[in-house]
Chain A
Amino acid sequence: DQQVKQNSPSLSVQEGRISILNCDYTNSMFDYFLWYKKYPAEGPTFLISISSIKDKNEDGRFTVFLNKSAKHLSLHIVPSQPGDSAVYFCAASPNRDDKIIFGKGTRLHILP
C-alpha cells in the first residue's frame, strides 16, 4: 500500500519555465512533508519541507504548496535551470519520531 504517490515518473520542462512536481498521500496522520533531490551516483539531498499547519513554504526558487483537504502537495521550481535536472522524491512523516515514507520519485529533465 503506497502512502505517498508520485504519479508522474518523468517530466520535461523548458529552461526558464516553471516546473511543477506533484505528490499525493493517503495517510491523514502525516504531519510533515519533505522534498528531496537526487543526482545519479549521489544520495538524496534535502530540498525543502512543510509542516501540516502551513499551506505554503518558499525558499528561493523553490516553493512547496500543501492542500490538506485534497491530500496533495506540489513543488514549484521557477525559473527552472539545467542543474535542476534530477530525480525528485516527495516524502512524509506522521511525527518527528517516526519514519519518513518516500514516493517513487519523478525524473525532471530541463530542456535547453
Chain B
Amino acid sequence: AQSVTQLGSHVSVSEGALVLLRCNYSSSVPPYLFWYVQYPNQGLQLLLKYTSAATLVKGINGFEAEFKKSETSFHLTKPSAHMRDAAEYFCAVSVGDTGGFKTIFGAGTRLFVKA
C-alpha cells in the first residue's frame, strides 16, 4: 500500500532564502507524485506533478521537485522565497490499479515566510 510522509508540519524561512519541503513516499509500484498548494481559505491547486517523463519537474511560481527513486523522495524546492509563497503544501502519491482511483495526501507542511 502506498503512503506519503511530509517531514515537518511547519517550515519557516526568510524572504529570499531557499525553500525546501520534504516528502517521502512508499509505493510498491512506480507512482505518480504531486505537490499541491493551498492558500488561506481556498481549495488546493496543482503546483507540479511527476509522471515519469523527467525526474526533475518544474512547476508554477518557480517551484521544482526532484524524483529520487533510490531515496523514495520527492522534495519541493524554490531558490528564493517570496512572501506570497506563504501557504500550506501537500504532497500526494497516486497509483493506478485495476480498481481505479487511489491518491493519498500527506498531512501538509505550512510554509511561513519572514520579511
Do A and B share a complex? Answer: no
Binding site for B on A (CB under 8 A): none
Name B residues whose Cβ lies closer than 8 Å to a Cβ of A. none
